[in-house]
Structure 1
Amino acid sequence: MINRYLYILILMFFLESCWFDKTQPNIVYMPDMYYSDAYEPYSDPNFNHNKEIKKIEIPFFSKGKTSSLLPVKGTVSRNHSFSNLIDVKNKGFNDFKNITQNPLYIYNKEKKEISIKKGEKLYQINCSICHGKNGDGNGELVKNEKIFGIPNYKDRDITIGSIYYVVTYGKNNMNSYVSQLNEIDRWRVSEYVMFLKNK
């Protein structure tokens, strides 16, 4: 009889200690470590987990109700798309290879010289380490034998559209550069690659 009561007592203890909603734990032994007072990016600085509410008065944060500042005026959002430049939906590499004119000249009215000049800066930062400063496939990584098989642009049958496609989606060993370059900058780099090919 005593064993039965002991078993029931132990079972009640275990059931009492179980808590099925893991998002709201029953007991937190060290709340200061479990719920950090540190700011989470883009969050409201007054956000708390059942803690005593502290009103934090920081002029930069209180205006936008966020723990980070707004982007500088005139900067380009990475989420913003320049989809009016060219319709890319359901198009593959071969479709892009038929594009021989830079859409920046049509839609943005950007002059070719400006596009090449801006494309050169972007190319030196993002591409020359592998492809070389002159597009000959002899970048620093190739010279140090860290990567192989980088082609010379002059040996390739490429168009501005095919270059744009590869920079956007990647091909073979090359990854996509969408997270590094927005759409306009990818067209500028493509223009500069064609400039190196025809140089």
Structure 2
Amino acid sequence: MKRVYKITLLLGITILVASCRNDKAPNYQYFPNMYESLGYETYSESKAFANGQEAQIPAQGSINRGFEPYEYENTTAGYELAKANLKSPLDSLDLNSEKGKELYEIYCMSCHGATGNGKGKLVEREKFLGVPSYKDRVITEGSIFHVVTYGLNSMGSHANQLSSHERWLVADYVQKLRSQL
């Protein structure tokens, strides 16, 4: 008898569940855009952004993550201001001569030479001419940082390869090389 009740109960639940289905009005779907997504043609124009732009414009005044603003312009006047006023923010604990030497050997030595005399491998092979010796120039740590940031003459900018901290380490190492010449 218990078996008949169990079978009847199971049959009743099955009929109840099956009767809730209506093919004309489908049940609720979670994330229906995943089931029935719109197909877009590759590289076609999209109306997702206003005025036919390809992406959203960043908010006014925003800066990139990790970007450190540099207040001196890439002009001769900016160079002279940096030379006169810009001082290293690194204290004696932050200065690392070994790291500065390592960075100098990677990025600078091929043109400026191991001692800063302007006789690097690329100058010896006449790929670049007129690289000055540090001894012949009136330079400060601010002017070195400015030149490494923006570049000067045939030297390109190293701001995308070296962080601000690393550029200050290189400037400190160049000052040490200059004092040894």
| TM-score after normalising by structure 2 | 0.59
CA distance in 2, matches of 1:161, 1:90: 10
CA distance in 1, matches of 2:44, 2:109: 52
Over 3 Å counting, the alpha-carbon distance change for 1:134 and 1:79 in structure 2 is farther
Unaligned runs of 5+ residues in structure 2 are: 1-40, 46-63
CA distance in 2, matches of 1:79, 1:94: 29
For the aligned residues, what is the CA RMSD? 2.4
Q: Deviations over 1:130-162 (max 9, x none)?
A: 000000000000111111000000110000000
User: How much identity, in percent, do the aligned residues show?
Assistant: 40
CA distance in 1, matches of 2:148, 2:170: 9
Equivalent residue number for residue 110 of structure 1: 93
CA distance in 2, matches of 1:90, 1:135: 25
User: Equivalent of 1:183, from 149, 164, 167?
Assistant: 164
User: Equivalent of 1:159, from 137, 140, 164?
Assistant: 140
CA distance in 2, matches of 1:98, 1:133: 27
Equivalent residue number for residue 140 of structure 1: 121
Q: Larger C-alpha radius of gyration, 1 or 2?
A: 2
In the alignment of these two chains, the number of paired residues is 118
| TM-score after normalising by structure 1 | 0.54
Query: One-letter code of the match for 2:169?
Result: R
Over 3 Å counting, the alpha-carbon distance change for 1:134 and 1:90 in structure 2 is closer
Query: One-letter code of the match for 2:84?
Result: N
CA distance in 2, matches of 1:24, 1:96: 48
Q: Deviations over 1:50-76 (max 9, x none)?
A: xxxxxxxxxxxxxxxxxxxxxxxxxxx
Over 3 Å counting, the alpha-carbon distance change for 1:121 and 1:131 in structure 2 is same
* CA-CA distance at 1:90 after TM superposition: 4.6
Unaligned runs of 5+ residues in structure 1 are: 1-20, 26-77
User: Equivalent of 2:154, from 163, 170, 173?
Assistant: 173
